Amino acid sequence: MANLLGGFASVLTPENLLFAVIGVTVGTFVGILPGIGPALTIALLFPVANSLVDSNGQSGVVGSLIMFAGIYSGAMYGGSTTSILLNTPGESNSVVTAIEGHQMALRGRARAALASAAIGSFVAGTLSTLALTFFAEPLAALAINFRHSDFFALGVLATVSVTALVGRSLLRGMMSLTLGLLIGVIGIDTLTGKPRLSLQEFVWADANHTGVSTFMQAGIGATLVIVGLFAFGETLYVCGRLKKLPDKIAPMDAKDGEPEFAWMTKKDWRRSWLPWLRGTALGFPFGAMPAGGAEIPTFLSYTLEKARSKFRGQFGTGAIEGVAGPEAANNAAFAGVLVPLLTLGIPTSATAAIILASFKSFDVPVGIQLFDHGGAVVWALIASLYVGNIILLILNLPLIRIWVLVLRIPRPALYSAILVFAVVGVYANANLAFPLFLAIGIGVLAVFMRMYDFPISPVILGVIIGPLLEENFRKTMQETNNSYAIFVDRPLTVSLLALAVVSLILPNLPKIIAFLRGRRADKLSFADED
Amino acid sequence: MTADDHPVARPRVGTVLFGAGAFAGGLALLLLAWHEKGDTAFSPANERFAPIVVTGLWTVLSALYLVGQLTRFVRGVAAAKTAAVPAETDDAADDPAEVHWRAPLLMVVALVAYVLLLEPVGFLITTFAFYVAAAAILGSRVWWRELVIGAAMSAVIYFSFTYLLELTLPPGVLPL
């Protein structure tokens, strides 16, 4: 408790409070905007954060991480606004909210849907942060017994399970993951200092001519890959499909006969509070699992609420439970995702992966070392989640009309600005033209990936978890004199690897069962991150 | 490994070409990784192991993808000959592979020109020009709005990065 109070003391300084406000405001903004998500935003803000850290040291680290966490949680809130008013999720985790939320909006109940989503997000965000407060440190302490083989197996489980769930084809998902792993091995090997796949054999790439080889030896950072895949890739793809963009925003105003400020009625409150709690109970544990993410709990919450509701007949035409439950699950999962990230250094979403990259960039350890040596940072981060939740509630209820204006930003202006910020973000990191060409190349590749239904987020996970996997695998091999026996002898390693195999098979079960019955079915899949 | 199962039944040469490119690229990278290994012993604990495993895995997966797409293509062509391919329906309108290439190609050209001119001409001028060009490519016809936003945005970014964050952006030909 003393640690948490210390965290609050740190967050409630004017400077850090400002970072929290900036973070959640930017997060809500990008959550609302289709085409730009929290992962890309954090990647683009890396140069700014590095500048802050260079000039302010430890306080810059705390401020930057508070801002990043605010962006992540703010995007969860903002995504629901776009889902409800535009029927297009502003970020991937709000897919389910669109089902009932937009129907409510079309029936003149947009405010009730927005309020249920915002209050549910607040309840879930606060309760799940409370769970994070109590569980994170003991879990990190448990991980002290983990060996390199266990961390390797855990990394395999996280990457494989996320990959198996996003996208409709396991083959395409695994190709995306392998592409990320491939990008991750490029550069100087951290254990021996030798360059790998860095083009140093080629004259044109020599440092004296273009700086390409020097850049490649430093490795292709996650920031560049995220900017390429999400900023350039998304914008180029949108360029080719301009006529297919949704542009009809549902009205915010109440229908005739209803009071002007028709937020939630007593009946809406009665129908929402239990789904909020059930959504939280689903979202936090699922978010904390190695498969991570908010997609599964939001879908489960929707199914659960539909099955339990007395108003089942309203589902599909605007049932408030279908907004309340999934939005709570969505926000609870965010705090859950922080559990493996902070305690084990395992990211289970693209946004978590880029936050992990920022920890590394700022030399902040993860796992039990984070609580032992980086206590001030982590408790300030956790305290900022409580504060951020309150700010977000204010931003998303009384100020909702301002956010609706964001949806009216003309698409040409929006996407052109995204491209400019992307170029600035990459250039400011390296002061070199080559990374920009590389990012544009990755963007073109991402267009084909979108066209041919390849999921994007496994690439990011591969880039960031790949080096961790390799390091732990090689250290295991060094410890065991190149014996693979530990992967079948050590119970924890074997269990984690077995779970990885199960997670590969599980989403394909409907397809396998349908095949055995002589029918066709798609594999279970969830939306990719943006 | 499951076979690939794209929902659209029409024969599509794009996926075959994409698969062929992925396979060829994988093979080239595998050869590069093998070349870098040189005389180093092949041991799971050394630094040459992961590049070979990963490039090898990519090559195998892309080969599987290519074979899957080739098979679909051949079946699709055969079905088209017997008029068994379904006519385009409303669903086809939402086909994610349906992309009109003119605008993306123009945008890539604009981006490449922006990057090439960024240092010699400078951030302010190139960013302004790129923003206006990109907005036009994306379909904007409100030229005065884009001129104002382009000028304001490039100035705000340049001066805030240079003077507030002390990050370097190229001044180029302007005496800044």
Find where tokens 């599509």 sit: B12
Interface test with A, best of B99, B119, B121 (most A CBs within 10 A): B99
The residue among B92, B118, B152 that closes a domain is: B92
Backbone angles phi, psi at A263, to 5 degrees: -75, -105
The residue among B45, B71, B92 that closes a domain is: B92
To the nearest whole angstrom, how far is the Cα of B83 from the nearest Cα of chain A?
23
B108 touches chain A (CB under 8 A): yes
Q: Do B45 and A437 touch (CB under 8 A)?
A: no
Question: Is B41 a member of any domain?
Answer: yes
Which positions in chain A touch B99 (Cβ < 8 Å)?
A: 237, 240-241, 447, 451
B56 and B116 assigned to the same domain: no
Window from A115-129, A347-361, B123-137, B148-162 with minimum mean pLDDT: A347-361
pLDDT tens across the length of chain A (530 residues): 778 888 888 888 898 899 999 999 999 998 888 767 888 888 888 878 888 887 777 778 888 989 998 998 898 888 888 888 877 665 666 778 888 888 888 888 888 999 999 999 999 999 999 999 988 888 888 877 889 999 999 889 888 887 887 777 889 999 999 999 999 999 888 888 888 887 776 666 665 556 677 778 888 888 889 889 988 998 999 888 876 665 566 666 655 555 544 578 888 899 999 999 999 999 999 888 876 677 778 888 988 888 888 888 888 888 899 999 999 998 898 888 888 888 888 888 888 888 888 888 888 888 777 777 767 888 888 899 999 999 998 888 888 888 888 878 888 898 899 999 999 988 887 788 889 999 999 999 999 999 998 988 889 889 988 988 999 999 999 989 888 999 999 999 999 999 999 888 887 787 788 778 877 766 666 656 55
Which positions in chain B touch A191 (Cβ < 8 Å)?
A: 47
The pair of three-digit structure tokens given for residue B151, joined into one six-digit string: 């000028």
Integer-rounded Cα Rg, in Å, for chain B is 24
Q: What is the per-residue pLDDT for A92? A: 64
CB pairs under 8 A between A and B: 202
The rounded percent of chain B whose pLDDT value lies above 70 is 87
Q: What is the per-residue pLDDT for A24? A: 93
B34 touches chain A (CB under 8 A): no
B32 touches chain A (CB under 8 A): yes
Question: Is B169 a member of any domain?
Answer: no
- Please report the ipTM that was assigned to this predicted complex: 0.88
Which positions in chain A touch B106 (Cβ < 8 Å)?
A: 239
Concatenate the DSSP letters of all residues of A370-387 into one string. HHHHSHHHHHHHHHHHHH
Q: What is the per-residue pLDDT for A324? A: 93
Q: Which chain A residue's Cα is nearest to B158?
A: A424
B87 and B62 assigned to the same domain: yes
The residue among B58, B92, B126 that closes a domain is: B92
B18 and B70 assigned to the same domain: yes
Residue B2 scores a pLDDT above 50: no
Q: Which chain A residue's Cα is nearest to B117?
A: A433
Which positions in chain B touch A244 (Cβ < 8 Å)?
A: 93-94
Q: Across the interface, which of B45, B55, B157 has its CB nearest the CB of A424?
A: B157
The pair of three-digit structure tokens given for residue A394, joined into one six-digit string: 């204010």
The pair of three-digit structure tokens given for residue A116, joined into one six-digit string: 């249920």
Question: Is B172 a member of any domain?
Answer: no
B87 and B140 assigned to the same domain: no
Q: What is the per-residue pLDDT for B55? A: 96
Residue B6 scores a pLDDT above 60: no
Q: Taken in order A340, A344, A350, A353, is the CA torsion positive or negative?
A: positive
Which positions in chain B touch A187 (Cβ < 8 Å)?
A: none
Q: What is the per-residue pLDDT for B145? A: 92
B73 and B12 assigned to the same domain: yes
- Count structural domains, chain B: 2
B125 and B72 assigned to the same domain: no
pLDDT band per the 50, 70, 90 thresholds, residue B132: very high
Q: Do A423 and B96 touch (CB under 8 A)?
A: no
The whole model's pTM is what? 0.84
Which ranges in A349-456 belong to alpha helices (H)?
Answer: 350-361, 368-373, 375-396, 400-406, 411-430, 434-451
* Domain membership of residue B53 as a residue range: 3-92
Question: Is B34 a member of any domain?
Answer: yes
d(C-alpha A206, C-alpha A217), whole Å: 11
Question: Is B173 a member of any domain?
Answer: no
> Which residues touch A459 (CB under 8 Å, ≥6 apart)?
A176, A177, A179, A180, A183, A225, A229
When pLDDT is averaged across residues B124-131 and rounded to a whole number, the result is 96
Measure CA B114 to chain center.
17
Q: Which chain A residue's Cα is nearest to B118?
A: A433
> Which residues touch B164 (CB under 8 Å, ≥6 apart)?
none
Start-to-end CA distance of chain B, whole Å, equals 59
Q: Across the interface, which of B58, B94, B104 has its CB nearest the CB of A240?
A: B104
Question: Is B120 a member of any domain?
Answer: yes
Q: Which residues pair with A188 in a beta bridge?
A: A195
Q: Across the interface, which of A440, A447, A466 has its CB nearest the CB of B112?
A: A440
B26 and B55 assigned to the same domain: yes
B68: left (phi over 0), alpha (psi -120 to 50) or beta: alpha
B95 close to B68: Cβ distance less than 8 angstroms? no
Q: Do B45 and A431 touch (CB under 8 A)?
A: no
Residue B137 scores a pLDDT above 80: yes
> Which residues touch A425 (CB under 8 Å, ≥6 apart)?
A43, A44, A45, A46, A47, A223, A227
Q: Across the interface, which of B45, B119, B142 has its CB nearest the CB of A474?
A: B45
Which positions in chain A touch B22 (Cβ < 8 Å)?
A: 175
d(C-alpha B13, C-alpha B72), whole Å: 10
Q: What is the per-residue pLDDT for B129? A: 96
Question: Is B158 a member of any domain?
Answer: yes
d(C-alpha A454, C-alpha A173), whole Å: 6
B83 and B113 assigned to the same domain: no
To the nearest whole angstrom, how far is the Cα of A208 from the nearest Cα of chain B?
18
Q: Do A197 and B107 touch (CB under 8 A)?
A: no
Q: What is the per-residue pLDDT for A248? A: 62
